[in-house]
Amino acid sequence: MSRGKWKAPYVQNSLITKVFKRRSAPQNEIKTISRQSVVMPKFIGYTVQIHNGKTFSKLKITEDMVGHKLGEFSPTRKRFSFKKKNKSK
């Protein structure tokens, strides 16, 4: 079920304060565990480290990502790969 149209997009308050603090500082890398936060236009150009449950993965925010959630860009599960069988004769 999607979020109501009358509500604003959810962004964690600590993430917003980190973005505004980094605007004046030269360092623009933000570390967060808030995967449910929506990418806002003010985040464009920043590098965000998103927690996937085990490690932090780096993500450079671009214009195409605005409106999506941060968790969409940091997979939590390993990709499955089929093992090749060796023919022994």
Number of other residues whose CB lies within 10 A of the CB of residue 75: 11
pTM reported for the whole predicted model: 0.78
Of 20-29, 50-59, 71-80, least confident by mean pLDDT is: 20-29
Domains of the chain: 27-73 (3.30.860.10)
Separation CA 39–CA 14 (nearest Å): 14
37 CB burial (10 A radius; 0-12, 13-18, 19+): buried
Per-residue pLDDT at 13: 94
Separation CA 50–CA 71 (nearest Å): 7
39 CB burial (10 A radius; 0-12, 13-18, 19+): buried
Question: What percent of the chain lies above the pLDDT cut of 70?
Answer: 96
